[in-house]
Structure 1
Amino acid sequence: MLENFPFYLALIFTIVLIIMLAKKIKVAYPVLLVVAGLLISFIPGVPILHIDPELIFILFLPPLLYEAAWAISWKELWRWRRIITSFAFIVVFFTAVSVAFVANHFIPGFSLALGLLLGGIVSPPDAVSAGAILKFVNVPKRMSSILEGESLLNDASSLIIFRFALIAVATGQFIWYEAALSFGWMLIGGVVIGLLVGFIFIKIHKYLPTDANMDIVLTFVAPYIMYIVAEELHSSGVLAVVSGGIFMSNKRHFFLSSASRLRGVNVWESLSFILNGLVFMLIGLDLPEITAGLGNVGIPEAIGYGVLVTFVLILARLLSTYGAVFVTLIARNYITVADATHPGYRVPFILGWTGMRGVVSLAAALSIPVHLEGGIAFPQRNLILFITFIVILLTLLLQGLTLPYLINKIHIPNLDHTPPEDETDHLLRQQLAHQAIQYLRQNYSDQLLNQPFLQQMARKWEDKDLLKDGTVIDEKGKTIYLDILNNQREWLLAKNKTEVTLNEDLVRKHLNFLDLEEEKLSFL
C-alpha cells in the first residue's frame, strides 16, 4: 500500500485535471474518467488494482447516497412518487428479468438464476453520470426531479434482486414465500432503521453541546451507522441511508446552526467530488484484473455478450418509460396523478435514454463470491464481471456522449409552464424584503426608532422591496463589484504586511467577510 502511495496521489491529481477538461469541453466527467482509467491501465508498470467490493459498498456508497439524499427535494420526490417508484422498482425488475431471459437463451452456461443475477447487477442506472450531464443542458425541473428520485431508490431494488438471485444460484432453489417475506423486511426494515438512526442523530445534534466541526463529523458518521446497522439486521442498507438522509435533510434547519449548514455544504461537496472521481477512475483501472479471469471465453466473444446485454438494457428502459406514460394516462381517469397532461414522445425518450450504468453495478459484480460452499468455483463469475464492465463502458460512451446533443436537439417542452428562474428569484427577493419590513414594524417599532442598525437594515430592505423588474445586478455590475472586493482584499493584505503590530486575527476576520460577500455575489 505505502509503495503505491505516490501513484494514488498522482491518480487524484489526474482526476482533478480530467474533470477540469470535462468542464472545458462540456462532456460528463464520468465518461472521461472511465476512459482515462482504461488507458492508464495499459501503461507498463502501473500497479494492478484489486478493488475490494466491501471498500465500495462500505466506504463509498453510504456517503454518496447520503449526500444525494440531502440534496434532493422532498416536495418534488413526493409529487412524482408514483413514476419514481415505478422506475426504481417496476422498471428495474422488468429490466433484470429481460436480461435474465436473453442471457439464458444466448449465453452458453447461463441458467435463469445466473441471468437474473446479471440483470440485478446491471439494471440500476447511475445517478452521478446523469447528474453530471444534466448540468450542461437545460431540462424541465420535473425531469431532473424524477431522475434524482429514481437514482436514490433503484440501487436498493437492484441489490435486493441481486441478493435473491445469488441465493438461488448458491442453493439451487428459490422459495417464493420466504423471498417475499425477506423482500418486505428489506424494504420496511431499511426505511425504519434509517428513520430511527436519523432521529437519534437529530437529538444528538440538538441537545448536546456541539459546534460546527462536531456537527460535520457527526454527519460523516451518520450514513455509515445507518448502512451498517441495516445490513447487520439483513435489511437494505441503501434504503436506510436514503430514508435517514432525506429525514435529516428536511429537519436540518431545526437542529443545525447556520455555521454548521454553511460549512457542511462545502465539506460534503468536496468529499462527494473526490469520491465520485475515484470510483469512476477505478472502474477503468480494474480492466486488467477483469480480462485476466475470463478463462476459456475469448475477449471478442465476451465483448459480443456485453453489447447484447447493453442493447437489451437500453431497449427495456425505453419500452418501460413509454409503458409508464401509457399507464399514467389510463390511471388519470380513476385516480389523481401528479400530472395529467400528455408529455408527447420526446420527454419519455430522454428519460429512457438516461440509463448510464456505474459504480453500484461494478461493486455488485465484484461482490460475487469466488467459490460456492464446498469449494466449487462460482459459475460464470469472470464473464459476469467482464459483461458488467462492457455495459458500464458502452452506456457511458453511447448514451453519455449523445444525451446532451439529443436534449438540445429535441427541445423538451416545459410542461409545468413555470416562469424563468431569474424572474422567480427576483420576486422572492422582493417578497422576503417586504416580509422583513412588515415584521420589523409590527414587532419592533419602538426599537426601530433608536437602533441605527435596525434603521439601516430597514432602508436596505425597502430598497430591495422597491426594486423594479430588470434592475437586478447584471454581469457588468458583478464584475465591477468583484473588482472592488479584490481591491479591498489586496489593501488588507498589504496593511497586514506593513503594520507589524496589527492583529492578524482581525485581518483574517475581515478577509472572511470579503469572501462571504464574493460568495453572495454568485447568488445575485
Structure 2
Amino acid sequence: MEAEFQIFVILLAVLAGTALVARRTNIAPAILLLLAGTVLAFVPGMPSLELPPELVLLVVLPPLIYSASVAMSWREFRYNLRPIILLSVGCVIFTAFAVAAATHYLIGLPWSIGFLLGAIVSPPDVVAPLAIARKLGLPRRILVVLEGEGLANDATALILYRFAVIAISTGTFSLTKATGTFLVIVIGEVLFGAAVGWISLRARHRARDPQIEITLSLITPYVAYWVPEHLGGSGVISTVACGLYMSWNGPLWISSATRLQGIFFWDLVIYLIEGMLFLLTGFQMRSLFERSKAFPLDDILTATALVAVMIIIARFAWVFPATYLPRLISSVRERDPPPPWQWTFIVAFTGVRGAVSLAAALALPFALPDGESFPYRDLILFVSFGVIFITLVGLGLGLPPVVRWLGVAQAGRAEHLAEHEQEIAARREALGSALKSLEAITDDRELSDEVVKLLRARHEVRVNQLPDSLDPDAREVSAMGMELTRELIAAERKFIHVLLRDGKITDEVRRRIERDLDLEEASLANRDLRRLPL
C-alpha cells in the first residue's frame, strides 16, 4: 500500500512538472504526459502499471464527457448538429470499414478482426486536440464541431465495438438487428439523459447547500452513464444529453455560491483525471512491449503504420465530401453557406486518438466462449497504442504549423474581438436593465435616500469598469487600471495581515475580507482585455 501511494505521489509530481514544461514550451500537455509516461515505464525499478479498462470506461469517462457537455452550448450544438452527426456517426463507421478493408486485403486479417480494430481506433479524442486547438485561437465553429464530435463519437465506436466482439465470439452478425439496436440505444439514452438532468437540477435546487450540490453534480454523470451501460447501451449518449440539458437549464437553477465553488472543483478534477489518464496511457508501453514479442516486429510495425495511415486518409476522404456535398442542396446552402476549405482541412487534420481507444482494446476478453484465446488480441492492443502515439504526437505537434500555414487563426482572432465587443455591449445593456429595475423599485417602495444613493454608486462603478471600445489605446488604459487595482488589492491584503498579526481582528474576519478581495481579483482576471488575441 505504501509503495502504491509513493507511485501516486510521483505521478502527481510528474503531472505538475510536465504542466510547467508545457507552459514554457507551448506544447500540449497531453503530448508531454504521454511521452513522460512512456519514459517512466522503462525506468529501472519502476513497477509495471496496468490501466484497467473498467477504470477508463466506467470511472474516468463519465465525468470527462459530462464536464465537456456542460461546457458546450446547446444552441451551438444544435446549430451544428448536421456536421457533428456526420462526423460522430458517419465518419466513425466509414473509418471502421476502411480499416477493416485495408487490414484484410493488405495484411490478411479476418474481416471481423479488422472491423473490431477499426471500431477501436475510429473515434478521435475530445481532450487533447481541443486543448491544442483552443490555444491556437481557431474560429468558434471549428471548436464546436470538434468538441461535439468528440462527445458523441465514443458512443458510436463503443456500440460498433460491442457488435464486433459479439460477432467474433458467436460467429454471427445481423446488420438489420444491429441497426435497429443502434437506433433504440440512441433514442433511449437521449431521453434517459435528459431525465437524469431534470431530476439532478431539481434535487440540487432543493438542497440549497454548495457542498451537497457539488456532491450531487459529481454523482450525476455516473447515474447517466452506468444505467444505460449496464442495460447494454454505451452510456455516452445519455451522459452527453444530461450535460447539454444542465448547460441550457442550469444557470437559472444553480446558486452563485455553488457555481463559483463548482467551477473550481470541476476544473481541478478534470485536470487531474486528464493528466493521470495520459500518464497511465504512456505506462502501458512497457507491458505492450513485452507482449509484442509473440509477434514478429515487422508485422507489428507494418500493421500499426497501415492503420495509422488509413485512419488519417479515411478522415480526409470523409470530411471534405460530408462538408460540401450537402450544400449542393440550395436550402442547406442558403441556411449554412460552405466554410472556407482551410477550415475543413483543419477539421480533417484534427483526428487525434486517445485513451478511450486503448481502454476498449484492453477490455477485449482473453478467451472466446469455447475456451480458445481471443484472436489477435495482443496485436490489436499494440496497434491501438501505436495509433494513439502516432496521432497524438504527430498530428498534435503538426497542428500549430498547419494552422499558421493556412492562416485560419486570423479569422479566429477577428471572431474573438467581435465576440468581446458583443460582451461589452451585453454588459452595458444588462446594467441599463438593472438601472431601470432600480428606478421601478424606487417608485414602488419607500427607500431612503442613502439606500438609493448606495445602489446608484454601485451601478456607476460597474459601468465605469467597462471599456468604451477594444481599440489598442482603450485596451492599454484598461490594462493599466487593472494592474494598479491588483496592486491596491495586494496592499489591502498586507494591511489586513498586519491587523491579524496585531490581534485587532480574528481569523474569521480576515477570511471574510480575503474572500471579497479574492472575488474582486478573480473578476479582474475575467475582464482582462490583454487576453484577447491581437
Compute the TM-score of the two structures, normalised by the length of structure 2: 0.93
**Aligned mates of 2:173, 2:20 — CA distance in 1:** 49
Q: Which runs of 4+ in 1 moved over 6 A?
A: none
Amino acid paired to 1:106: L
Is the 8 Å Cα contact of residues 31 and 396 (structure 2) preserved in structure 1? yes
Deviation at 1:245, TM superposition (A): 1.4
Following the alignment from structure 1 to structure 2, what is the Cα–Cα distance between the partners of residues 287 and 448? 73
- Corresponding residue number in structure 1 for 2:97: 97
| Alignment check: 8 A CA contact 1:70 1:246 kept | yes
Query: Structure 1 residues 261-270 or 250-259, which shifts more?
Result: 250-259
Shift of 1:3: 2.3
Matching residue's letter, 1:136: K
> How far does the alpha carbon of each residue in 1:373-432 deviate from its partner, in whole angstroms, 9 at most, with x for none?
122100000000000011000001111001011112211263997553332222222212
Aligned position for 2:392:
396
Consecutive unaligned residues of structure 2, counting only runs of 5 or more, are: 528-534
2:375 maps to 1:379: yes
Q: Which residue of 2 aligns with 1:139?
A: 138
- Listed one character per residue, the Cα deviations across residues 422-477 of structure 1 (whole Å, up to 9, x for unaligned) are 32222222212211112211343355862534423324434655763355652222
Could you say if the C-alpha distance between residues 325 and 298 of structure 1 is closer, same or farther in structure 2, counting changes exceeding 3 Å?
A: same
Look up the SS of the partner of 1:99 in the other structure.
Answer: helix
Deviations 1:103-150 (A, max 9, x none): 112234x21111111111001111111111023211111111111111
The SS at the match of 2:45 is: coil
1:191-206 map, 5 Å: 191-206=190-205
Counterpart Cα distance in 2 of 1:51 and 1:468: 53
Distance 2:519 2:143 in 1: 29
User: Is 1:366 equivalent to 2:362 in the alignment?
Assistant: yes
Q: Is the 8 A contact 1:353 1:399 kept in 2?
A: yes
AA of the residue aligned to 1:489: R
Deviations 1:135-187 (A, max 9, x none): 32111111111111111101111111111111111111112222122212221
Matches within 5 A, 1:109-508: 110-207=109-206, 209-331=207-329, 333-335=330-332, 338-340=335-337, 342-412=338-408, 414=411, 418=415, 420-445=418-443, 447=445, 450-462=448-460, 465=463, 468-469=468-469, 471=474, 474-499=478-503, 502-508=505-511
Task: Kindly indicate whether the alpha-carbon contact (under 8 Å) linking 2:200 and 2:220 is maintained by their aligned counterparts in 1.
Answer: yes
Q: Would the aligned equivalents of 2:326 and 2:332 in 1 still touch at CA under 8 Å?
A: no
C-alpha contact 2:137 2:413 (8 A) present in aligned 1: no
- TM-score, length of structure 1 as denominator length: 0.95
Evaluate the alpha carbon distance shift between residue 41 and residue 415 of structure 1 in structure 2; reply closer, same or farther with a 3 A threshold.
closer
Q: Does the CA contact (< 8 Å) of 1:193 and 1:229 recur in 2?
A: no
Q: Within 2, Cα distance between the matches of 1:469 and 1:176?
A: 59
- Secondary structure of the residue aligned to 2:389 is helix
Supply the distance in 1 between the matched residues of 2:276 and 2:456 (Cα, whole angstroms). 49
Contact (CA 8 Å) 2:140, 2:412: kept in 1 or not? no
1:6-17 counterparts in 2 under 5 A?
6-17=6-17
Does the 8 A contact of 2:134 with 2:143 survive in 1?
Answer: no
- Alignment CA distance shift 1:329-1:335 (3 Å): closer
Closer/same/farther in 2, CA of residues 366 and 319 from structure 1, 3 Å limit: same
Identity of paired residues, percent? Answer: 31
1:19 is matched with which residue? 19
SS class of match (1:420): helix
Structure with greater helix percent:
2
1:519 partnered with 2:515: no
User: How far apart are residue 93 of structure 1 and its match?
Assistant: 0.7
CA RMSD of aligned residues (A): 2.0
Query: How far apart in 2 are the matches of 1:161 and 1:64?
Result: 21
The worse-fitting range, judged by mean Cα deviation, of 423-432 and 37-46 is 423-432
Conserved in 1, the CA contact under 8 Å of 2:50 and 2:283? no
Range moving further from structure 2, 298-307 or 278-287: 298-307
Q: CA deviation at 1:360?
A: 0.7
Distance 1:494 1:416 in 2: 45
Residue number in structure 2 paired with 1:37: 37
* Structure-2 separation of matches of 1:172 and 1:98: 21
